[in-house]
């Protein structure tokens, strides 16, 4: 699935009717397979290869809080404990980040709060014979398990279309 323009923010946009424009962000959501195993990859990047200042700020803080999650993952740990450790790192990243747009700060704050208030024992979904393999064989992360981690950073109180039109 490929999305751009105001549709970039839809995780599973599938109509592909937007025209790609200079300055747009592009989202690819695809599921390459290898030897009967299917993965799940989503990437967002600027169509022209250069982030606008707003896009760079938005992507920059998202990357910092996402890295906080990724660097907290440990073998034999429960996902809920990993999330708790990640939130501590996310708080530090938020405190150190130089926000210029209050909408981006609000979106990043909401992102962190979703993790802080999470009661889930999951970091994402497993990847295996299906794109969204629902099998959860253990309560902890163990060697050989393959997960997809791609948490969305959304604007609170906005639809995707209004967020795009207001902020970009």
Alpha helices in the chain (DSSP H): 53-70, 79-96, 102-116, 160-167
Domains of the chain with bracketed CATH: 2-167 (3.90.230.10)
Closest CA to 133 of 144, 123, 147, 119: 147
What's the angle, vertex CA 26, arms to CA 92 and CA 129, rounded to 5?
80
pLDDT digits 0-9 by tens, 57-112: 988 998 999 999 999 999 999 999 999 999 999 999 999 999 999 988 988 998 89
Full-model pTM? 0.79
Does pLDDT of 128 surpass 50? yes
* Contact between residue 90 and residue 115 where contact means Cβ atoms under 8 Å apart: yes
Q: Coil, strand or helix: which one is 72? A: coil
Report d(CA 15, CA 1) in Å as an integer: 8
* Contact between residue 164 and residue 8 where contact means Cβ atoms under 8 Å apart: yes
- CA distances to 8, 126, 135, 139, 152 from 119, rounded to whole Å, are 28, 18, 19, 14, 17
Across the range 41-66, mean pLDDT stands at 88
* Contact between residue 20 and residue 4 where contact means Cβ atoms under 8 Å apart: yes
* Contact between residue 112 and residue 87 where contact means Cβ atoms under 8 Å apart: yes
Closest CA to 40 of 137, 142, 132: 132
pLDDT digits 0-9 by tens, 2-20: 777 665 655 555 566 777 7
């Amino acid at each position: 699935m490929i999305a751009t323009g105001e549709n970039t923010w839809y995780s599973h946009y599938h109509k592909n009717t937007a025209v790609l424009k200079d300055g747009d962000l592009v989202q690819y959501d695809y599921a390459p397979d290898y030897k009967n195993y299917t993965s799940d990859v989503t990437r967002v990047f600027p169509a022209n290869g250069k982030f606008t200042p707003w896009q760079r700020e938005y992507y920059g803080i998202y990357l910092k809080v996402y890295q906080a999650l990724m660097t907290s993952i440990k073998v034999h740990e429960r996902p809920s404990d990993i999330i708790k450790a990640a939130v501590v790192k996310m708080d530090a990243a938020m405190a150190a980040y130089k926000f210029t747009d209050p909408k981006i700060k609000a979106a990043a704050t909401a992102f962190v709060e979703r993790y802080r208030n999470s009661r889930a024992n999951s970091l994402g979904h497993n990847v295996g014979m299906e794109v969204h393999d629902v099998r959860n064989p253990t309560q902890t992360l163990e060697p050989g398990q393959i997960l997809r981690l791609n948490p969305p950073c959304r604007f609170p109180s906005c639809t995707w279309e209004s967020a795009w039109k207001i902020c970009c």
